[in-house]
Amino acid sequence: MKMIIHDWADDQAVRILRSCRQAMREDSKLLLIEQLLPKRKLSGVQMFIDLTMMAMFGSKEHTATEFQALFAQAELELTRTIDLVNGYAIIEAKPRV
């Protein structure tokens, strides 16, 4: 999924991820393309996007740790992140067994 989870508040994002989990086999992988916020200070663009998402949708951009927590609630496990450009990343998850 590309830029879907950041559009939703965390409880709704977990519902989406749970639906994905229910459709997955044990050997499936879920791939998200999302902004991946750093643990340290945000760039001006990242801060602007995060504030815009919060103001418009009640949602937010996430760090890898926050994605890990969302995945855990949906019975998924974060397996890796692959940095792309401009703060975007491929975020990979598998079913938690």
The pLDDT confidence band at residue 54, using thresholds 50, 70 and 90, is low
pLDDT tens, position by position, 64-94? 999 999 999 999 999 999 999 988 999 999 9
Question: Which residue segments constitute the domains of the chain, with CATH numbers given?
Answer: 5-95 (3.40.50.150)
73, exposed or middle or buried, with CB in 10 Å at 0-12, 13-18, 19+? middle
Among this protein's residues, is 6 annotated catalytic? yes
Q: Which long-range contacts (CB under 8 A, 24 or more apart) does 46-53 make?
A: 46/87, 53/6, 53/7
Considering the candidates 1, 3, 4, 6, report the single residue annotated as catalytic: 6
